Amino acid sequence: MDKRQKVYERLKELGISYEVTEHPAVYTIEEMEQLGIALKGDVCKNLFLRDYKGRRHFLVVLLKDKTADLKHLRQELDSTPLSFASPERLEKYLGLHKGEVTPLGVINDTQAQVEVVFDKDLVNRPRLGVHPNDNTATVWISFEDLKRVVEENGNTIRYAQI
């Protein structure tokens, strides 16, 4: 089963409704905006971070126009200094590659090791756009349903003001 199908199957198992927009591969928010995808809802930007010693991993989900201040985020998460995790760590923990980072990647985190950090401004949003573990489509899903996918997987959820 391919990556996208695995996501769709999981959403179906959980009874979560969603829509899909197919598009060419995109690697940046700018590319999504050029294709007009960002006009269909609130597109999320996703950052895969690690602490200084690589003991904790964080998937930070925020609105596309925001910038995460890693020093501030470190304080909110009570963490050692944060940096971007390597492509190898992204593959190991979420089974994803560059350009595919998404909160739906927790489906591949069978030991629920990655902490998911939602920007508080995402709460109650009715239509968030995230990749289905593949950057050639965008899944539109409510915040509550996205949070439910993470909860059902057993990952720790944190909220931060970003």
Tell me, what CATH number does 131's domain have? Answer: 3.90.960.10
Residue span of the structural domain in which 20 resides? 3-160
pLDDT, mean over the chain: 95
Q: How many domains does the chain divide into?
A: 1
- At residue 38 the predicted structure's pLDDT band, cuts being 50, 70 and 90, is confident
| 20: pLDDT strictly greater than 70 | yes
Look at residue 137 and give its three-state secondary structure.
strand
Residues 42, 60: Cα–Cα separation, whole Å: 15
